[in-house]
Amino acid sequence: MQPEVVEALASRFRLHRLDQVADKEALLSEVGPHVRGLAVGAQTPVDAKIFDRLPRLEIVSNFGVGYDTIDAKEAGRRGIIVTNTPDVLTDEVADLALGLLLSTVRQIPQADRYLRAGKWPTKPYPLTSTLRERKVGILGLGRIGHAIARRLQGFDVAIHYHGRSRQSDVAYAYHATLLDLARAVDVLMVVAPGGAGTEGMVNAEVLAALGPDGIVINVARGTVIDEPALIDALRSGTIHSAGLDVFAKEPQVPQELIDVERAVLLPHVGSASVHTRRAMGRLVVDNLVSWFDGKGPLTPVAETPWSRRA
Protein backbone atom coordinates (compact mmCIF):
# COMPACT_ATOMS: atom_id res chain seq x y z
CA MET A 1 0.00 0.00 0.00
CA GLN A 2 1.18 3.52 -0.76
CA PRO A 3 2.18 5.70 2.22
CA GLU A 4 -0.79 8.02 1.59
CA VAL A 5 -3.17 5.06 1.90
CA VAL A 6 -1.56 3.88 5.12
CA GLU A 7 -1.64 7.38 6.59
CA ALA A 8 -5.29 7.88 5.66
CA LEU A 9 -6.29 4.53 7.16
CA ALA A 10 -4.27 5.13 10.32
CA SER A 11 -5.87 8.55 10.79
CA ARG A 12 -9.35 7.07 10.75
CA PHE A 13 -9.03 3.49 12.03
CA ARG A 14 -7.02 1.40 14.41
CA LEU A 15 -4.62 -0.04 11.86
CA HIS A 16 -2.78 -3.36 12.15
CA ARG A 17 0.01 -3.95 9.61
CA LEU A 18 0.12 -7.66 8.81
CA ASP A 19 2.58 -6.87 6.01
CA GLN A 20 5.16 -5.50 8.46
CA VAL A 21 5.38 -8.18 11.14
CA ALA A 22 7.62 -11.21 11.15
CA ASP A 23 5.14 -13.42 13.00
CA LYS A 24 1.92 -13.01 11.04
CA GLU A 25 0.25 -15.91 12.84
CA ALA A 26 0.80 -14.26 16.21
CA LEU A 27 -0.73 -10.98 15.03
CA LEU A 28 -3.71 -12.76 13.49
CA SER A 29 -4.29 -14.65 16.74
CA GLU A 30 -4.11 -11.41 18.71
CA VAL A 31 -6.22 -9.05 16.59
CA GLY A 32 -8.11 -11.38 14.24
CA PRO A 33 -11.19 -11.71 16.47
CA HIS A 34 -11.59 -7.90 16.47
CA VAL A 35 -10.85 -6.97 12.83
CA ARG A 36 -13.88 -5.62 10.92
CA GLY A 37 -12.23 -4.26 7.77
CA LEU A 38 -9.39 -5.41 5.52
CA ALA A 39 -7.38 -3.38 3.00
CA VAL A 40 -5.42 -5.60 0.62
CA GLY A 41 -3.08 -5.29 -2.33
CA ALA A 42 -4.11 -6.49 -5.76
CA GLN A 43 -2.17 -9.77 -5.50
CA THR A 44 -2.95 -10.60 -1.85
CA PRO A 45 -4.68 -13.99 -1.42
CA VAL A 46 -7.84 -13.74 0.69
CA ASP A 47 -9.78 -16.96 1.11
CA ALA A 48 -11.86 -18.98 3.56
CA LYS A 49 -8.85 -19.57 5.82
CA ILE A 50 -8.43 -15.82 6.27
CA PHE A 51 -12.17 -15.36 6.80
CA ASP A 52 -12.06 -18.03 9.51
CA ARG A 53 -9.36 -16.05 11.32
CA LEU A 54 -11.40 -12.83 11.09
CA PRO A 55 -14.87 -13.79 12.37
CA ARG A 56 -16.07 -10.17 12.64
CA LEU A 57 -14.89 -9.15 9.17
CA GLU A 58 -17.41 -7.00 7.30
CA ILE A 59 -15.55 -5.64 4.28
CA VAL A 60 -12.48 -6.30 2.12
CA SER A 61 -11.26 -3.25 0.19
CA ASN A 62 -9.05 -4.34 -2.71
CA PHE A 63 -6.38 -2.14 -4.31
CA GLY A 64 -6.99 -2.89 -8.00
CA VAL A 65 -9.82 -3.62 -10.38
CA GLY A 66 -8.94 -7.31 -10.57
CA TYR A 67 -9.84 -9.33 -7.51
CA ASP A 68 -9.27 -12.92 -8.63
CA THR A 69 -7.02 -13.51 -5.60
CA ILE A 70 -10.03 -12.91 -3.33
CA ASP A 71 -12.65 -15.62 -2.90
CA ALA A 72 -15.50 -13.19 -3.47
CA LYS A 73 -18.13 -15.92 -3.69
CA GLU A 74 -17.16 -17.21 -0.26
CA ALA A 75 -17.15 -13.65 1.04
CA GLY A 76 -20.68 -13.16 -0.29
CA ARG A 77 -21.80 -16.41 1.32
CA ARG A 78 -20.54 -15.12 4.66
CA GLY A 79 -22.09 -11.68 4.22
CA ILE A 80 -18.74 -9.96 3.70
CA ILE A 81 -18.56 -7.11 1.18
CA VAL A 82 -15.68 -7.01 -1.31
CA THR A 83 -14.82 -3.77 -3.13
CA ASN A 84 -12.36 -2.99 -5.91
CA THR A 85 -11.13 0.13 -7.72
CA PRO A 86 -12.83 0.28 -11.14
CA ASP A 87 -13.07 3.34 -13.42
CA VAL A 88 -10.17 5.24 -11.83
CA LEU A 89 -7.64 3.08 -13.70
CA THR A 90 -9.61 2.43 -16.90
CA ASP A 91 -8.03 5.13 -19.06
CA GLU A 92 -4.50 4.45 -17.80
CA VAL A 93 -4.68 0.74 -18.61
CA ALA A 94 -6.32 1.42 -21.98
CA ASP A 95 -3.56 3.90 -22.86
CA LEU A 96 -0.94 1.34 -21.89
CA ALA A 97 -2.69 -1.34 -23.96
CA LEU A 98 -2.49 0.82 -27.08
CA GLY A 99 1.12 1.70 -26.35
CA LEU A 100 1.93 -1.97 -25.94
CA LEU A 101 0.15 -2.80 -29.19
CA LEU A 102 2.06 -0.15 -31.14
CA SER A 103 5.34 -1.18 -29.49
CA THR A 104 4.75 -4.79 -30.49
CA VAL A 105 3.56 -4.14 -34.04
CA ARG A 106 6.27 -1.59 -34.86
CA GLN A 107 8.97 -3.17 -32.67
CA ILE A 108 9.66 0.08 -30.87
CA PRO A 109 11.75 -1.39 -28.00
CA GLN A 110 13.76 -3.50 -30.45
CA ALA A 111 14.42 -0.50 -32.69
CA ASP A 112 15.53 1.49 -29.64
CA ARG A 113 17.99 -1.28 -28.69
CA TYR A 114 19.22 -1.39 -32.31
CA LEU A 115 20.06 2.31 -32.27
CA ARG A 116 21.70 2.19 -28.83
CA ALA A 117 23.85 -0.73 -29.93
CA GLY A 118 25.30 1.46 -32.71
CA LYS A 119 23.89 -0.65 -35.55
CA TRP A 120 22.08 2.13 -37.45
CA PRO A 121 25.21 3.42 -39.30
CA THR A 122 25.75 -0.12 -40.57
CA LYS A 123 22.29 -0.60 -42.08
CA PRO A 124 18.71 0.59 -41.52
CA TYR A 125 16.48 -1.23 -39.07
CA PRO A 126 14.45 -3.99 -40.81
CA LEU A 127 10.91 -3.24 -41.93
CA THR A 128 8.23 -4.07 -39.39
CA SER A 129 4.62 -5.16 -39.33
CA THR A 130 1.80 -2.58 -39.34
CA LEU A 131 -1.65 -1.85 -37.97
CA ARG A 132 -2.92 -1.02 -41.43
CA GLU A 133 -5.76 -3.28 -42.60
CA ARG A 134 -5.67 -5.29 -39.39
CA LYS A 135 -8.68 -6.63 -37.53
CA VAL A 136 -8.50 -6.35 -33.75
CA GLY A 137 -10.40 -8.67 -31.43
CA ILE A 138 -11.08 -7.73 -27.82
CA LEU A 139 -11.53 -10.54 -25.31
CA GLY A 140 -13.62 -8.95 -22.55
CA LEU A 141 -15.57 -5.83 -23.52
CA GLY A 142 -15.91 -4.37 -20.05
CA ARG A 143 -14.87 -0.90 -18.90
CA ILE A 144 -11.27 -1.25 -20.04
CA GLY A 145 -12.28 -3.13 -23.19
CA HIS A 146 -14.62 -0.31 -24.17
CA ALA A 147 -11.90 2.27 -23.53
CA ILE A 148 -9.47 0.32 -25.71
CA ALA A 149 -12.09 0.05 -28.48
CA ARG A 150 -12.67 3.82 -28.44
CA ARG A 151 -8.95 4.41 -28.86
CA LEU A 152 -8.68 1.83 -31.63
CA GLN A 153 -11.33 3.66 -33.62
CA GLY A 154 -8.79 6.41 -34.19
CA PHE A 155 -6.54 3.92 -35.97
CA ASP A 156 -9.25 2.93 -38.49
CA VAL A 157 -9.04 -0.77 -37.69
CA ALA A 158 -11.96 -3.21 -37.69
CA ILE A 159 -13.00 -4.09 -34.11
CA HIS A 160 -14.45 -7.43 -33.03
CA TYR A 161 -15.14 -8.80 -29.55
CA HIS A 162 -16.06 -11.85 -27.52
CA GLY A 163 -17.67 -11.92 -24.09
CA ARG A 164 -20.27 -13.81 -22.12
CA SER A 165 -23.01 -12.20 -24.21
CA ARG A 166 -23.61 -9.81 -27.09
CA GLN A 167 -23.84 -6.13 -26.09
CA SER A 168 -26.78 -4.51 -27.84
CA ASP A 169 -25.42 -0.96 -27.57
CA VAL A 170 -22.20 -1.48 -29.56
CA ALA A 171 -21.68 -1.85 -33.29
CA TYR A 172 -18.54 -3.98 -33.11
CA ALA A 173 -18.73 -7.47 -34.58
CA TYR A 174 -19.61 -10.05 -31.92
CA HIS A 175 -18.38 -13.65 -31.84
CA ALA A 176 -20.05 -16.25 -29.68
CA THR A 177 -16.82 -18.14 -28.97
CA LEU A 178 -13.23 -17.12 -28.45
CA LEU A 179 -12.13 -19.50 -31.19
CA ASP A 180 -14.48 -17.79 -33.66
CA LEU A 181 -13.05 -14.44 -32.64
CA ALA A 182 -9.47 -15.64 -33.14
CA ARG A 183 -10.33 -16.95 -36.61
CA ALA A 184 -11.78 -13.57 -37.60
CA VAL A 185 -8.96 -11.28 -36.40
CA ASP A 186 -5.19 -11.02 -36.42
CA VAL A 187 -4.74 -9.06 -33.18
CA LEU A 188 -6.14 -10.39 -29.91
CA MET A 189 -6.38 -7.90 -27.06
CA VAL A 190 -6.85 -9.80 -23.79
CA VAL A 191 -8.81 -7.79 -21.21
CA ALA A 192 -10.78 -10.60 -19.54
CA PRO A 193 -10.74 -10.94 -15.74
CA GLY A 194 -8.63 -13.62 -14.12
CA GLY A 195 -9.84 -16.54 -12.07
CA ALA A 196 -10.77 -20.18 -12.60
CA GLY A 197 -13.36 -19.35 -15.26
CA THR A 198 -10.82 -17.82 -17.65
CA GLU A 199 -7.66 -19.72 -16.78
CA GLY A 200 -5.77 -20.80 -19.89
CA MET A 201 -8.63 -19.89 -22.22
CA VAL A 202 -6.22 -18.40 -24.77
CA ASN A 203 -4.79 -21.82 -25.58
CA ALA A 204 -2.87 -23.46 -28.42
CA GLU A 205 -6.00 -23.82 -30.57
CA VAL A 206 -6.87 -20.13 -30.21
CA LEU A 207 -3.29 -19.09 -30.97
CA ALA A 208 -3.21 -21.28 -34.07
CA ALA A 209 -6.48 -19.69 -35.23
CA LEU A 210 -4.84 -16.24 -35.11
CA GLY A 211 -2.32 -17.41 -37.67
CA PRO A 212 1.29 -16.47 -38.53
CA ASP A 213 0.50 -12.74 -38.67
CA GLY A 214 -1.30 -12.91 -35.32
CA ILE A 215 -0.42 -10.67 -32.40
CA VAL A 216 -1.45 -11.22 -28.78
CA ILE A 217 -1.63 -8.32 -26.30
CA ASN A 218 -2.40 -9.04 -22.63
CA VAL A 219 -3.12 -6.33 -20.05
CA ALA A 220 -5.49 -8.46 -17.96
CA ARG A 221 -4.14 -11.42 -15.98
CA GLY A 222 -1.32 -13.70 -17.01
CA THR A 223 -3.40 -16.76 -16.16
CA VAL A 224 -5.86 -16.05 -18.99
CA ILE A 225 -3.20 -17.20 -21.48
CA ASP A 226 -1.76 -20.72 -21.54
CA GLU A 227 1.80 -19.48 -21.13
CA PRO A 228 3.63 -22.63 -22.34
CA ALA A 229 1.36 -22.70 -25.40
CA LEU A 230 2.18 -19.04 -26.08
CA ILE A 231 5.89 -19.71 -25.81
CA ASP A 232 5.58 -22.62 -28.26
CA ALA A 233 3.52 -20.46 -30.66
CA LEU A 234 6.11 -17.70 -30.63
CA ARG A 235 9.03 -20.08 -31.06
CA SER A 236 7.40 -22.00 -33.92
CA GLY A 237 6.07 -18.95 -35.77
CA THR A 238 2.48 -20.04 -35.20
CA ILE A 239 1.86 -16.37 -34.32
CA HIS A 240 3.87 -13.28 -35.19
CA SER A 241 4.47 -11.65 -31.82
CA ALA A 242 3.14 -10.83 -28.36
CA GLY A 243 2.99 -7.82 -26.05
CA LEU A 244 2.55 -8.75 -22.40
CA ASP A 245 2.13 -6.65 -19.28
CA VAL A 246 1.10 -9.61 -17.10
CA PHE A 247 2.38 -13.12 -16.49
CA ALA A 248 1.22 -16.34 -14.87
CA LYS A 249 3.59 -16.26 -11.88
CA GLU A 250 4.60 -12.67 -11.30
CA PRO A 251 7.20 -11.34 -10.84
CA GLN A 252 8.86 -14.43 -12.32
CA VAL A 253 8.86 -14.33 -16.12
CA PRO A 254 9.87 -17.47 -18.03
CA GLN A 255 13.31 -17.16 -19.59
CA GLU A 256 11.80 -18.68 -22.74
CA LEU A 257 9.65 -15.53 -23.12
CA ILE A 258 12.55 -13.21 -22.38
CA ASP A 259 14.57 -14.92 -25.09
CA VAL A 260 11.90 -14.29 -27.76
CA GLU A 261 12.96 -11.20 -29.70
CA ARG A 262 9.44 -10.67 -31.09
CA ALA A 263 7.91 -10.29 -27.63
CA VAL A 264 7.53 -6.95 -25.84
CA LEU A 265 7.44 -7.54 -22.07
CA LEU A 266 6.47 -5.06 -19.36
CA PRO A 267 6.56 -5.54 -15.54
CA HIS A 268 2.78 -5.19 -14.90
CA VAL A 269 2.67 -1.41 -15.19
CA GLY A 270 -0.81 -0.98 -16.68
CA SER A 271 -2.08 1.33 -13.94
CA ALA A 272 1.33 2.33 -12.64
CA SER A 273 1.26 6.11 -12.91
CA VAL A 274 1.46 8.38 -9.87
CA HIS A 275 -1.90 9.94 -10.73
CA THR A 276 -3.79 6.67 -11.13
CA ARG A 277 -2.26 4.84 -8.18
CA ARG A 278 -3.18 7.78 -5.95
CA ALA A 279 -6.76 7.65 -7.22
CA MET A 280 -6.88 3.90 -6.60
CA GLY A 281 -5.55 4.37 -3.09
CA ARG A 282 -8.14 7.02 -2.30
CA LEU A 283 -10.89 4.66 -3.44
CA VAL A 284 -9.56 1.89 -1.18
CA VAL A 285 -9.81 4.27 1.77
CA ASP A 286 -13.11 5.83 0.68
CA ASN A 287 -14.78 2.42 0.47
CA LEU A 288 -13.81 1.64 4.06
CA VAL A 289 -14.77 5.08 5.35
CA SER A 290 -18.12 5.00 3.59
CA TRP A 291 -18.84 1.53 4.96
CA PHE A 292 -18.04 2.35 8.57
CA ASP A 293 -19.92 5.64 8.29
CA GLY A 294 -22.99 3.53 7.56
CA LYS A 295 -23.32 4.68 3.94
CA GLY A 296 -22.51 1.35 2.32
CA PRO A 297 -19.65 0.47 -0.05
CA LEU A 298 -18.89 2.68 -3.03
CA THR A 299 -17.74 0.01 -5.49
CA PRO A 300 -18.85 -3.49 -4.42
CA VAL A 301 -18.00 -6.34 -6.76
CA ALA A 302 -20.67 -8.40 -8.49
CA GLU A 303 -20.38 -11.35 -6.09
CA THR A 304 -21.15 -9.17 -3.08
CA PRO A 305 -23.90 -6.77 -4.21
CA TRP A 306 -25.16 -4.13 -1.82
CA SER A 307 -28.65 -2.78 -1.40
CA ARG A 308 -28.80 0.44 0.58
CA ARG A 309 -30.69 -0.14 3.77
CA ALA A 310 -33.25 2.27 5.17
Let me know the angle formed at the C-alpha of 71 by 68 and 73, rounded to the nearest 5 degrees.
Answer: 110
The interaxial angle of helices 274-292 and 3-12, nearest 10 deg, is 20
Question: In sequence order, what are the residues at sequence separation of 6 or more whose Cβ sits closer than 8 angstroms to the Cβ of residue 278?
Answer: 2, 4
**Residues taking part in catalysis:** 221, 250, 268
Q: 152-167: buried (b, 16+ CB within 10 Å) or exposed (e) per residue?
A: beeeebebbbbbeeee
Is residue 301 within 8 A of residue 74, CB to CB? The reply is: no
DSSP 3-state of 5: helix
Q: How far apart are the first and last CA of the chain?
A: 34
CA atoms 245, 248, 254, 257: torsion sign: negative
Is residue 51 within 8 A of residue 80, CB to CB? The reply is: yes
